[in-house]
Each structure stands twice: as C-alpha cells, then as structure tokens.
Chain A
Amino acid sequence: MKKENPVVTIKHLTVAYDLQPVLWNVNLAIPRGHLMAIVGPNGAGKSTLIKAIMELLKPVAGEITFDLGEHLSKKEERNLIGYVPQNGSVDWDFPATVLDVVLMGRYGHLGWMKRPKEADYALSREMLKRVGMETYENRQISQLSGGQKQRVFLARALVQQPDIYFMDEPFQGVDAQTEKTIVALLKDLKKAGKTVVVVHHDLQTVPTYFDDVTLINREVIESGPVETIFTEENLAKTYQKEANEVREELVE
C-alpha cells in the first residue's frame, strides 16, 4: 500500500432529491492522512456528499471506493469509517447519559446482540477525557450545551477508532473552548495518520485548520491543497459572487 494512494476515491457521483440534482458528477480523491475541509454555500450539497459517502442515501449514479487495507470484510471496512453527524440530527431529550452515547461508538465492533464489555467502557471513558468531558459521564444529554453535545459526538466517533472521519459541521454553534479542543484533536488525529474530512462554514479559519480544501457548489469547483486552491477567484466561483465580496468575508 503506497502512501500516495487516496484513501477515498469518488467517481461521477450524482445525487438527486426528488427531481433536483443536489450533487452533479462529483469526482474527488481524498488524500490519506490529510485534514480536508469541504466548503461551499448553503444548499451546495456538502452534507449530501458526506451522507452519500456514508451510504446513508442512494445516488443516481457514481461509485465510491475506499482503500483502507486489503482483505477487509464489509463490516471491518465500515468500522474503519467514523461519522460525526450534525448536532441537531438527534433527539437530545432521549433518556441517555453522556457515557451511554459515547458507548454507541463501540456498537459496530460488537455486532448484533453482543453487549459492551468492561474494555469498551474503559475506552469510552478515556475518549471522554480526551475531549475534556470526563466529569460529565453521568450527565443526562439534554442538560449539555451545544459545544458539549458536539464533544460527546466526537468522543463517540473516537471510540470507534476509525482510520477516516467524516464530520458534518462540528464547529457549528460551539463555544471558543470547544472549538480549541476540536482543533487540537484534529491535529492529533493527523499526527496519528488518520484522515479527517470536515464540512466547514467559517471561511477565515480554513487556512489555519486544514491542509486541503474541496470547494463545492453542486459540482466540485476545485479540490487540493489550501495554499493553491483557496484563492479569491476560486471562492468567487464557488459562491457565485464578486471577488471583492469574498475578500470582505475573509477579512471580517
């Protein structure tokens, strides 16, 4: 396995909700061990792209191939792919504690009918500590702040111990402390050789947080290293605005 092989290759991916194509002929290679941001205007299909990669919705056409190692069964491969959904996608009034939710990240490894063991609990506690939430393990999830909920979701993805993470807007509505924790975590994951793909909203922080960026607006506009791709012209093309408007947004 050569290091240069992209970890995920997407070819001609086309997704349509009802009659409208949301993603059109998306071709994308996600480089191994990089932190990649997916950036684009509202309704550009960013979340849809992640969901299609996670096989949570059925595309009209296209194929997605993972290169996570040889001779992996479908189940083993699935467990190497981590998913952090948007904060608002679950019912936070659900009767569960923080530890209960984090433990769910182990379920894929356990498979049907098996119960979590002591080691799974220990790992869950360890990951809670890593996101700075170890004192909250018995807290009811409805009593958490937006940032804390996001960190619980991150810990849940961590206990799954995947090789590649897909995160849908993890920075949305979080406090400064959580943002710092998440950024530090991203750098740690990179150091450990993991790949992280993040749907991101805040244009200003893209160059400091990420190595690569994919600009998307129904189609992939450009994709590659931040230094070469994250330019005013490309952003203007993505957001269909004038270059000076984009500049103002970046400086703000």
Chain B
Amino acid sequence: MNNPALEIQIIAVIVAVACALPGVFLVLRGMAMMADAITHTILLGIVMAFFVTEDLSSPYLILGAALMGVFTVWLTELLHQTKLLGKDASIGVVFPLLFSIAIILISRYAGSVHLDTDSVLLGELAFAPFDRLLVFGVDIGAKAIYVMGIILLIAVIAVIVFFKELQIATFDPALAAALGFSPVLIHYGLMTMVSVTAVGAFEAVGSILVVAFMVGPPITAYLLTNHLKKMLVISAGIGAFNGIVGFQLAMLADVSIAGMMAVVTGLVFLLVFIIAPEKGLYTGMKRRKMQKKEFEKALKNLL
C-alpha cells in the first residue's frame, strides 16, 4: 500500500470511530471536560516515559501516558472530595499544572526530546504516512494505521464485552455497587480506555481535537435515539462520516485535516440539533406552538 491520501483517509476514519465509542459513555456521565483535561496531561506522561526509556517510539510511552491520564482523574477526584472546591474548579486546577510541568520539561530539555508542544496540541494528520511500520524490513503501511487499529479493536471488544457493566455503572452506580459491579473499577477502566485512545490519536489529530471526536458524535447521536446500543452505532457512523468528509474538504481547501474534521463534526451536530425528529429545535418549537394553541383553545372554551 503506497497511497498516502488513502492511508490518511483510513487513519482519519479509525481515529474518529475509536474516539466516538468511549466518548458515548463520557458524554452520558457528563465528563467531557475530564476528557479535555486528560488529553492535555497525557503529554506529561509521554515526556516522563521518554526520560525513562529515551526512545520516542517506545510502547512504554503509551503506558506512561495512560497512567498519567488515570492519575489526572484520581487527583481531580481527590481534590473534589475534600469539598474545598467544586468539580469544575478541581479540573481547572489539576490539568493546567500537569500540562505546565510538561511544557517546562520539554522546553528545558528540548535538545534531547524531539517532541514539540505544537505537534501534541495541534497534530498533523498529513505527516502520519511518513512514519512507516517495517516488519523484517518490509514496509507494511503507515504505523498509525496499526496503532490506532489495535486501539479501535480494543475499544470495540471492550464495549461489546462490557456493555452491560458500562451501562449499569453509568445509569445507576448505586445499583451497580449493590449488585457487585464495582463502579469505581468500571470508572477507571473507562478512563484508561479514554487515555489510551487519546495517546494513540494525539499524534494524528492533536490533543485538543481528540475532544471534538470524543464528544461531537455522541452528543449528535444522543439527539437521534433513545437506545444506548443505537447511540453507540450511530456515534461510530457519524464519526466515520466526519472523518471522510472532513478529509476530503481539507484536501480541497488545503487546510488542517484534523481541524476540518472538527468543523464537519460541528456542522453535522448543528444540522441534527435543528432538524432531529424528536429532540430537535424545529420539532420542539412546533410542539411548543401547538401546545400554546391548544391551551388558548381550552382557555376559550372554558370562558
């Protein structure tokens, strides 16, 4: 396979779908801002793992980043539990600190770390095909396809196998605990999944836009269905659609691919927000108008 455009397109779709799946549960838990925090702090995990391994392509970098993601969640919840500050303020205190430490480390050791903050935050999908995966010296394709492919596979399997557990722990943590499904365990499992996905995706699309792909398709799907399983499928579908259309438009306009994918994600949401059959703005306004009319009629009859 030696068609960079096709490879980029494949990576775009895989990233979008892999983000959308754990994103569904993040959205249902109202934890999107935690994802935003995680996507920033994994940078510190990567930097620290790099200092240990001194190898930028080491798989330990993913491990370090995932651990840092979980640590972020833990620290935020620890602060929040003291009741000294609100949940939002806890997030706002923890992630800038960890992120600042990461940036300071990078700028102080910039000579030895070939990581720049730009590429972490912004990403560049167009460069992804340059990093090849070689097996016994044979080029078998862009590395990002395989890395993200494995992460997507794990996400799909996790969502299928632990569907019931994720569902009950999200909807009713007290019942989950009473029935022996530790909500804490499931919570941290999900957060690990989010961290790993973010690590895999940030090189391609940048950490800030990972949030767009984790939150956008699920909240769009949320407006379209009342079933959790359908919400998962629709989210994945919308994610893939955004990946394809976003990439094509980015090619046409010669602009940031990930940025364009985010813009398409936003436009698709806006469209659904207005015209969704049951929960859309248009239906809602029509319903309110009807209710008002009926109310007026009832009032008239009464008088």
Contact = CB atoms under 8 A, between A and B. Distances in A.
B179 A79 contact: yes
A78 interface: yes
B252 interface: no
Nearest to A90: B172
Given A107-B164, A107-B168, A97 B179 contact: no
B227 A95 contact: yes
B175 A85 contact: yes
A140 B178 contact: no
Contact of A110 (B164, B177, B226): B164
B222 A107 contact: no
B22 to A, nearest CB: 16
B228 A108 contact: no
A20 interface: no
Given A113-B161, A113-B162, A94 B171 contact: yes
Interface residues of B, number: 27
A49 B128 CA distance: 57
A112 B181 contact: yes
Nearest to A18: B83
B178 A54 contact: yes
Contacts of B227: 95-97, 100
B164 A89 contact: no
A74 B171 CA distance: 24
Interface residues of A, number: 35
Contacts of B170: 94
B251 interface: no
A114 B164 CA distance: 8
Contact of B179 (A90, A108, A140): A108
Interface in B157-175: 161-165, 167-168, 170-172, 174-175
Contact of A96 (B174, B175, B181, B228): B228
Interface string A87-126: 0011100111100110010011011111110000000000
Interface in B123-172: 161-165, 167-168, 170-172
B225 interface: yes
Given A95-B226, A96-B226, A104-B172, A56 B178 contact: yes
Contact of A97 (B175, B176, B226): B226
A155 interface: no
Contacts of B165: 112-113
B28 interface: yes
A83 B171 contact: no
A213 interface: no
B171 A91 contact: yes
B73 interface: no
A95 B178 contact: no
A78 B302 CA distance: 56
A89 B174 CA distance: 9
Contact of A56 (B168, B171, B177): B177
B68 interface: no
Interface string A123-160: 00000000000000000101000000000000010001
Nearest to B224: A95
Contact of A78 (B83, B162, B180, B225): B180
Contacts of B161: 113
B15 interface: no
A12 to B, nearest CB: 23
Contacts of B163: 115
Contacts of A90: 171-172
A160 B167 CA distance: 17
Given A107-B164, A116-B164, A140-B226, A89 B180 contact: no
B178 A78 contact: yes
A89 B172 contact: yes
B222 to A, nearest CB: 7
Contacts of A100: 167, 227-228
B231 interface: yes
Interface in B44-63: none
Nearest to A112: B165
A81 interface: yes
Nearest to B227: A95
Interface of B: 28, 83, 161-165, 167-168, 170-172, 174-181, 222, 225-228, 230-231
20 contacts: A75-B180, A78-B178, A78-B179, A83-B178, A91-B28, A94-B28, A94-B170, A96-B171, A96-B226, A96-B227, A100-B228, A107-B176, A107-B181, A108-B178, A112-B181, A113-B162, A115-B164, A116-B164, A156-B175, A160-B179
Given A56-B174, A96-B226, 13 more contacts: A54-B177, A54-B178, A55-B177, A78-B178, A79-B179, A85-B175, A89-B174, A95-B28, A107-B176, A108-B178, A113-B164, A115-B163, A116-B164
Closest 4 interchain pairs by CB?
A108-B179, A140-B226, A83-B178, A95-B228
